[in-house]
Structure 1
Amino acid sequence: MKQVIIIGAGIIGGAIAYEMAKAGWGVTVVDKAPEAGYGSTSNSSAVIRINYSVLETCAMALEGWSYWRDWAGYVGLPQDRPVASYKETGSLVIYSGEGAAMGRITDIMDQIGGTYERLAPEGIHRFLPGADLSSYAPARRMDDPDFGEPGEEQIGGAVFFQQAGYVNDPKLAAQNLQWAAQAAGAQYLFRSTVTALEIHDGRPTGVRLEDGRVLKADVVVNAGGPWSAGLNRMAGVTGDMTIRTRPNRQEVAYIPGPANMDYRHDGIVIADLDAEFYARPDPVGICVGSTDPACDPHEFIDDPDAVDTRFTDQWTTIVMRGAMRLPEMRIPGQASGLVALYDTSDDWLPIYDKTSLPGFYMACGTSGNQFKMAPVVGKLMTHLIAKTEAGHDHDASPLDFLLERTGRRIDLGIYSRKRKINADSSFSVMG
């Protein structure tokens, strides 16, 4: 039995572990944290949606949606185990002007079978009673004297995507994958930091841990989230990468919902590309995050272990942008929510690929938008690894991959570490 070590026990690493264990690999998952999903996964907003800027990612998201709808069936756990649940709410994407970008996305939906409804501005009130229909674009920072001032025009309109919602507990979802992978034979090692790759004859033969232990394997997979860039440097595989990844600090607010609706129970997922925020229902009321407008500088972190978790004016800016659209938003006097790290790539699309070191693979650069893809990524990486280990040159002839449930084939070259920056990307968490 061939052995694989997967570095990272988040939602992506767990899905790869589960699929590789089912495919007959001996799987060991190593993570420096005390539990599965303890890092970026636990900080995920866990939104499930199918609208992205690139066809292949939309197709993967539609496939992924089908797994989240039947999450319990996918992980196949005993009934006494708690299982994460998916709530379908639909997703409302609000846009400015003519909405050309949204037109491209709905064209993609027509190709892949995604369902949607176009709305005139007034149609938004069906989902968001009392919403302000003014346009606030372009987004501004709070030190701009025109921050919060509406323009003369209304928003352009919106698109409502029916196949969308959120997962109630992203950390539990990662634990579900751990338990499912273990049932298939995988083992997990927590509080175990990888300090070096063991390399012999130009291939990794395992990893060395901080406590001196050496774990043997035929293949190593980097699914380290915000730590993945450091792991790639440690492995010496960054030289041929044209796409880099870096930890990107983000703040997300968890606050009471608008006073005029029970957002916890009746709310939907929102992506407001005019006021530049996203939101979803939450037990507190509403979760509000940023859609990364151009005016907001990105804060890249050199050391993921040294991130400052104190809130800044980014939190206030996000909340106030949400209140522009939802005037009855209740804003607490004290910041609440979380500070998280996205493993952000240069074009905000992921890297699912081999590397220049044979036997070392990467599933990184997930940019805060790949949680929903996890079941598909597990299958995709298992396919890519098996074919490459059997001798296929994925760099010279990129593999394609069959999405089993929707029947579509996608070109995996789109996620190559050696690709050009994808000009179709939104260059934001929207992907």
Structure 2
Amino acid sequence: MSGFVLRNGHIIDPYTGMDGIGDIYVTADGKISGIEPEVDVKRGEKPEVDQHRQHRCASLDVTGCLVTPGLIDCHVHAYEYVTPLGINIDKTCLARGVATVVDAGSAGSSTVPGLLKFIGEASQTRLFCLLHIARHGLADAGCVTCDGGGECDSLSVVDVDACVKTIKANRDKIVGVKVRLARNVCDQGKNEAEVYRRALQASKECSVPLMVHHSISSIPLGEENGLGCPGDLQQGDIYTHCFHGHIDNIVDLDTGRVNPHVWDAKRRGVLFDVGHGQGSFAWHVAEQCASEGFWPDIISTDLHTGSQAGPAYDLVAVMSKMLHLGMPAAEVIRAVTNTPARAIGKDQEIGSLTPGRQADITVLKLEDISQDLEDSCGEMRTLKKAFKPVRMFVSGTEIPVAAGMDWPNLDSVKACKARTAVFRADEIARKK
């Protein structure tokens, strides 16, 4: 591999504050050696050119493109062939501009060695993981809307000591704890509160974030006395699926506005993550949140076997949805680079174009389109702009970019509408 320079791209790096036209130099050993912007954004002056970098470099023209740190998808399910939800991360993430993924609880303390060895070591995509509080993780579990039972139906497998011991032995790759709070995966709600307490305890003992899936749950958003979610989450914890459309979503049913407990959590530093998935993004919820200036801190896909062919598709599709809602492009980039890197404690390694780091770089075009795109309820909105990955580098090695799926996938739309009708009827019946 020889060194190269990406020329004339619009570089956006929220970590350094770079937002302007410039060149990125990459060494033969796959590290960023320097950036030469037209204007140094921090000093407001043109920097001196480092002459040695101008020689013996292949020149790649990326005029008209956005050049960002390698994208990070902070919520996927990567344990292919072992869990029902597992996907091939090189084919579905890396080939679509994502350099790093965080597996969100596919494995627990008993099953994570296989995830790290047979997926992490075998993939070009960088893999970190959140350890499920249940020892077996999602080995026999699908979406929470399934009727087949769940990973926390028995408290005997919700093992704080095993979780803590495993995290402490693998801090380089295990970056947090994951729990799903939903009736269907916690013995119809009977175990939910205790499962939540144990997950909170494990994350606290290890000083790592807790990511919580919270929908179709018996636990409220917050209470004066008693457990709440995100009411009991702390700074740095992650509330995923923040725009889901189930009846217990973050928009208050009575006021039609974002619930005060949710605003309180955001103010104290709880991170809100899109976690789109198969059933966890509703246009009407996201639009209300956007109207109040409630933006996600992290944009992720919850990509798995049930969402990769729609309604999530890939990370750039979810990013495009947030852009459609009015989230500024630079903040969209922050939510898939610096913020997730910081959330998992890896912001000194990934999520930035800082010289000296591995050259994980995504090159995007922001295209004008007019295309409908579905949410998890089967509702459509017409997008006018979309991100498209055009070049991808991991540690300086170029990765071929694959064409994304055409959307909307009408089969996905039909399935989303059918699922939504069933669960809305069930939720209404529960509330009576």
Q: TM-score, normalised by structure 2?
A: 0.30
Specify which structure has the bigger relative contact order, considering alpha-carbon pairs within 8 angstroms and separated by 6 or more residues. 1
